[in-house]
Chain A
Amino acid sequence: MDPLVITAHTLTSAAGTGIAANAEALRSGTSGLRACDLERVNLDTYVGRVPGVEAIALEGALAPFQCRNNQLAELGLRQDGFVAAVAAAVERHGADRVAVLLGTSTSGIAATEAAYHRRDPQTGALPPDYDYQHTQNMFSLADFVATRLGLSGPAMVVSTACSSSAKVFADARRYIAAGLCDAAVVGGVDSLCGMTLYGFNALQLVAAQPCTPLDRDRTGISIGEAAGFFLLERPSANAQGARLTGYGESSDAHHMSAPHPEGLGAATALQQALDRAGRQGDEIDYVLMHATATPANDRSEARALIHRLGPTPRAVGSKGLTGHTLGAAGAVGVAQALASLAGGFVPATAGLRHPDPELGLDARAETEDRPVRRVLVNAFGFGGNNCSLLLEAPQ
């Protein structure tokens, strides 16, 4: 496929605010997880909570969007000169030629949870200041970001659970190829809320200690939150940088909340990403795995990697740094891959003590400094929804 260039990007997660802090945490393996201290959540677990989200005030035309998810989006947008880079893209292409394609799994549901606590005790009515459209509705995130950045291109929210913000990269490629736009703001935002913490807890997928992807003793996920944004354009004199060269999408067609035991859907997505880029498996430096740290997820994904890349592929899991950021996981993975390409290192798998020999992967507890040219990023979600992206260093 014709590659797209990532001309600007930013990431805010529990591991850091902005790409420099996240890159440093990735290189040093410094975790942002801490014991769960969320209001109204009484669970024995660790979370990847972003500091400073609550202090963000959305004002003027943005005021109706006030909720944790959009506050986190705003905090993310303020980093790394992203707003100015989008403004420059608007100068080049026009506001109606820049798409807004974003992923989230739960949007602003924390606002609805809070509103339920304030229902009228007699009538059960939600409080009058509750604004469904601008907070909890799925489209709220794209609406907020488009309003904030002054964009009027094609817009939508993709919500396919934990693959959401990976799939938007494939959408951007198609929207640009189809002539609907010349550039796209993609990425994703998901924020901590009671529904996901108690929901994953009900599925017995939450670890009591910080998650340890790919480890022999892994017991489950730590839930995190993050905001990641990327500006994608066709390559040109003005548009240079790391590239999206392939994508793959598939469905497990197996189970709503458990992965295919042999990772069949994941293997298909991974192979499609390689095929679209015209690459062989041995040309990939490593795979930045979805690696949520549940026993079944990591096993299934490892089998997919070995099936397509051969024995003991180099593999990295990064959710020990940020927690599993759900609908933002794809965006986090892409930003981490870009940090690794730019910084010349294969990241450690944070939290890894005893690599699980049953997985058959080359996963390491230490960061390795060496040039990196190509990284596959995986993101898989409930419903058996899979996406793989291939990121390559600048030409």
Chain B
Amino acid sequence: MNTIGLHAVGLLGPGLDDFETARAILAGTAPLTGDAINIPPVRLLPANERRRTTTTIRLALKVAEEATTDSDRSQLRSVFASSSGDMDIIDRICDALTQPEPVVSPVQFHNSVHNAPAGNWSIATRNPAPATAVSGYNATVAAGLLEAATLQQCEGGEVLLTCYDVPSMETFIRVRPIHHAFAVALRLGPVEGATWRLQMDLKGPATADRCGADELEALRESNPAARALPLLEQLARGTAGHVTLDAPLGRSLSIRIEP
């Protein structure tokens, strides 16, 4: 694929409040301490819409907002990538359906769609550009990167990629052990003026890179969106390098990074 530009990054995870303040942790010069995570309300949404958002929507839109600060959001294409979508809602609706007379909340139902963050983002930014929502199970980050890079190469302009997964609720924790929320956003675009240049290739089976620090590696393993961490570590180091991520169907995504 063509080389594309990476213009900005958004990040939220346990002990990782945003990309700039997490840089030292990602670069390996400061430890990851604590697992507190604060998912703020979506400032860009009007108050009545803000009340109807879910943790999943707030998580995704926090990093989307961070990666698009000081940029034109009004025409930005977007890709929202999540392995599981809104598992909190799935849990509540499936639970409601076990009742003799099931009652499903209309707001929960319309927020249950995989593209709920994408829809809320387009409303929040008054942005008529196309938005999509994809999944690749544990290789969702690579699937999202391929989708976003392909959009940038074929349609031009900037593309916002947002990868996120919320923790599993109690009923699901055994079959899908995701213990912490994690989200990352990458604003991709033309090479000109970009902070980093990425050269991606979809390759055959290869072992995915792991994180340098044990705490980050545990996080990487625990949440599909955190599979992006080796890429973020390389970005934070500020040097040229190479990262391999798992891609769907047992393949791998090779990413060469140049500042």
Contact = CB atoms under 8 A, between A and B. Distances in A.
A174 B93 contact: no
A52 interface: no
Nearest to A256: B110
B113 A383 contact: yes
A63 interface: no
A346 to B, nearest CB: 29
Contacts of B235: none
A345 interface: no
Given A146-B249, A155-B143, A195-B93, A138 B104 contact: no
Contacts of A158: 132-134
Contact of B122 (A113, A139, A146, A383): A383
Given A113-B97, A156-B135, A384 B123 contact: yes
A157 B81 CA distance: 10
A130 B122 CA distance: 36
B122 A156 contact: no
Interface stretch (A79-87, A176-184, A229-237): A176-184
Contacts of A385: 115, 118-119, 131-132
B238 interface: no
B123 A138 contact: no
Contacts of B172: 126, 132
Contact of A250 (B82, B95, B129): B129
| Residue picked from B102, B116, B155, most chain A C-beta under 10 Å | B102
A348 interface: no
B130 interface: yes
A113 B102 CA distance: 12
Nearest to A204: B106
A202 B101 CA distance: 12
A384 B127 CA distance: 11
A265 B118 CA distance: 15
Given A109-B90, A133-B137, A385-B115, A256 B123 contact: yes
Contact of B94 (A143, A154, A167, A195): A195
Interface stretch (B146-154, B184-192, B214-222): B146-154
A137 B97 contact: no
Given A171-B150, A256-B120, A382-B110, A268 B135 contact: no
A101 to B, nearest CB: 9
B251 interface: yes
A313 interface: no
B204 to A, nearest CB: 7
Nearest to B116: A383
B96, B105, B204: residue with the most chain A Cβ atoms closer than 10 Å: B96
B83 interface: yes
Interface residues on B, range: 35 or more
A390 B215 CA distance: 50
A124 B134 contact: no
Interface in B141-172: 143, 146-147, 149-151, 153-155, 170-172
B133 A160 contact: yes
B84 A138 contact: yes
B112 interface: yes
A160 B84 contact: no
B123 A160 contact: no
Contacts of B106: 199, 202-203, 257
Nearest to A133: B137
Given A253-B123, A253-B125, A265-B128, A156 B113 contact: no
A142 interface: yes
B51 interface: no
Nearest to A100: B249
A195 B86 CA distance: 14
Interface in A116-156: 116-117, 119, 124-126, 130-133, 136-140, 142-143, 146, 151-156
Nearest to A112: B94
Nearest to A268: B128
Interface string A196-215: 00111111000000000000
Contacts of A297: none
Given A174-B154, A178-B153, A255 B123 contact: yes
Interface string A40-53: 10100000000000
Given A174-B150, A177-B154, A180-B1, A195 B83 contact: no
A161 B94 CA distance: 18
A251 B119 contact: yes
B85 interface: yes
A119 B169 CA distance: 15
B56 to A, nearest CB: 13
B255 to A, nearest CB: 15
A326 B85 CA distance: 17
Given A119-B171, A171-B150, A203-B110, 19 more contacts: A124-B171, A136-B90, A139-B135, A142-B136, A143-B249, A152-B250, A159-B135, A174-B153, A178-B150, A195-B112, A198-B102, A203-B109, A251-B127, A253-B122, A264-B128, A381-B115, A382-B119, A383-B122, A384-B122
Interface of A: 40, 42, 96, 100, 105, 109, 112-113, 115-117, 119, 124-126, 130-133, 136-140, 142-143, 146, 151-161, 167, 171, 173-175, 177-180, 194-195, 198-203, 249-257, 264-265, 268, 381-385
11 contacts: A113-B97, A115-B94, A117-B98, A126-B175, A137-B83, A137-B84, A152-B250, A194-B102, A199-B110, A255-B123, A268-B128
- Sorted nearest first, the 9 A-B pairs with minimum C-beta distance are A383-B119, A199-B109, A159-B114, A138-B135, A249-B130, A251-B122, A139-B137, A257-B110, A156-B143
